[in-house]
Structure 1
């Protein structure tokens, strides 16, 4: 893995206290900023707390749902803005078999493992290896997941790097393991390009570069099939309002209570991140594009936000207050040999990139 820069080699990022957890662990908030974007990230869960992006009049506004201190994230935050691992999304039966050996995993979503288990990477403090403002704003976080963590085999060393370049925030992952294991790293930011007080996101225009998606059963476990999006509410190959077909009587929308599905954006191994999705808010003119070398893109429309808590600015987060775009390996890949593998073996290095771009309209 890349080694962190020597201390004092460049101006440090701005940082400030972000409160304490109930066991008195202090969190810190780091700010990455350039001429176009301002991004706040905390070491608790390695999570994005704020992203301020300009509208068509060049006025910055926060486009990320979140909370104002670490205790609120512990109480209500779930995966809001967080890094996901060891395995983003679901693993059926909370078990995996690798090289003939079966491992029982943490069960935290019915009979499944979700986002790495009960104590996934969203609930740990990440170590700050680098926090520098120049030559470009960059925050490098590391974490060591012990052998047997949440039932997964192998000691895994992970590095997650956030970096600002002009109109984009890039998130790159590296990981290595001591034993063959499952690795599927991602992040879970909830966006509302109208601003966090902008109501729901159903009037956002969405384009997804996917001809197929992964159908699921009632427990939201992929069936193993890849279904064409053509003629379904999942066809976003041309710009469509997020809410235009979300209430259609499609069985897969019933399973997810809306959109909570993985779109296939490519199963090859591109040398550079490919375009996956473009979202535009007509009212503000803000645009978000995601580029990634991951094969899947999970679109989630905040279907289980109930209005039970408030976030930034005291705004209550109700259903569809934001949308999540999780670039990732396919859910439940260990149980589907036809899916791209999420197995990492000793001597290999896992590398993945997610790039969030906010171009001018």
Structure 2
């Protein structure tokens, strides 16, 4: 399906009073998840649905356009709730400069060099996105599609949510194989937002899916994230060329601005002149430590806002984490707070396979074949300290 377009613009009214009431009541008395669906814009085009999940003091909303994580509300150490994702309530922004904010990115997240892959000896030319690469699955990738949605109703009072489905035909953006994809979001009263990806194919292909949310734990529009404390469970990263394509072997982070093996301010070394930071900040893939033998999600990152106490722990089954500090943001998007987003207004922590893996056999494989199922899980675990 081509990118959805609409001529309607407007503002979605946030039910902040209900969220504040949930904060006051606490999560333990309300272990279940309430789910509701409505048009993204009341009175507008109903093709874009907004699914709102609420559990205890937490609330998330997800759009059917791009299976996009649009908002996420969480309390600070004083119980004051804030929306911690960069997002816009204007449809023109959601369809334009904010298109990737929180979107499900695929068929291949991040960059593929020279817009070309070879799978089982067969070469495939991909739709380019510029600068000699294919970025985020091509110019009409999964972030631009309307996904079909259904409510997840769990047994008992466990976390509920919403599951999105998408069919990508053989040859879509140049990728081989017809791909059937699902992305499920569930939210618990203990602050765990779980994102579960599944995919099957009719021909050998490559798959790399991620979520592209930008986080500001102080609340969207409330300053930058340079003072946030970041820990990454990674001892190496992949240095890149001027097209953001990895080159050479993994590089150790020790002794470099890329060392977040212990908690450091995001902005501590961001402007220290390191040649890999010439773009104004981080936009790199960290190589995560060994994954769990049972295939379960293990910690990749810990982000903390010292001022308000909100903490985000990221757990994943993926081997890599792309960290992007919104270096090129130029105020083109204004959030619900009324603040235009400038550089470092948020940070993206994208769990995924490494960039250009289809052309780098030494990296973990992204090949999916008929009869197999692609499975990936990421957990965003919120707390206060």
TM range (shorter): over 0.9
Asked if residue 303 in structure 1 is aligned to residue 324 in structure 2, the reply is: no
Structure 2: 5+ residue stretches without partners: 1-31
1:281 to 278, 282, 305: 305
Asked if residue 94 in structure 1 is aligned to residue 85 in structure 2, the reply is: no
Structure 1: 5+ residue stretches without partners: 1-9
Return the alpha-carbon distance in structure 2 between the equivalents of residues 116 and 153 of structure 1. 12
- Give the corresponding residue for 1:141: 164
Return the alpha-carbon distance in structure 2 between the equivalents of residues 136 and 277 of structure 1. 23
Using the TM superposition, give the Cα deviation of residue 12 of structure 1 relative to its aligned residue in structure 2, in angstroms: 7.0
Asked if residue 195 in structure 1 is aligned to residue 219 in structure 2, the reply is: yes
- Give the corresponding residue for 1:17: 39
**2:246–2:355: 8 Å Cα contact kept in structure 1?**
yes
Asked if residue 335 in structure 1 is aligned to residue 359 in structure 2, the reply is: yes
Using the TM superposition, give the Cα deviation of residue 269 of structure 1 relative to its aligned residue in structure 2, in angstroms: 5.8
Q: TM-score, normalised by structure 1?
A: 0.93
Task: Give the length in aligned residue pairs.
Answer: 350
- Give the corresponding residue for 1:151: 174
Moved more, 269-278 or 240-249: 269-278
Q: Deviations over 1:191-250 (max 9, x none)?
A: 000001211110000000100000111111001410000000000011100000000111
**2:110–2:136: 8 Å Cα contact kept in structure 1?**
yes
* Secondary structure at 2:337 match in 1: helix
Asked if residue 48 in structure 1 is aligned to residue 69 in structure 2, the reply is: yes
- Give the corresponding residue for 1:240: 264
Asked if residue 116 in structure 1 is aligned to residue 140 in structure 2, the reply is: no
- Give the corresponding residue for 1:6: none
- Give the corresponding residue for 2:187: 164
Q: CA RMSD in A?
A: 1.9
- Give the corresponding residue for 1:3: none
Return the alpha-carbon distance in structure 1 between the equivalents of residues 299 and 55 of structure 2. 23
- Give the corresponding residue for 1:184: 208
2:86 to 44, 47, 65: 65
* Secondary structure at 1:150 match in 2: helix
Return the alpha-carbon distance in structure 1 between the equivalents of residues 151 and 84 of structure 2. 25
**1:54–1:60: 8 Å Cα contact kept in structure 2?**
yes
Q: TM-score, normalised by structure 2?
A: 0.87
Asked if residue 259 in structure 1 is aligned to residue 291 in structure 2, the reply is: no
Moved more, 132-141 or 98-107: 132-141
- Give the corresponding residue for 1:39: 60
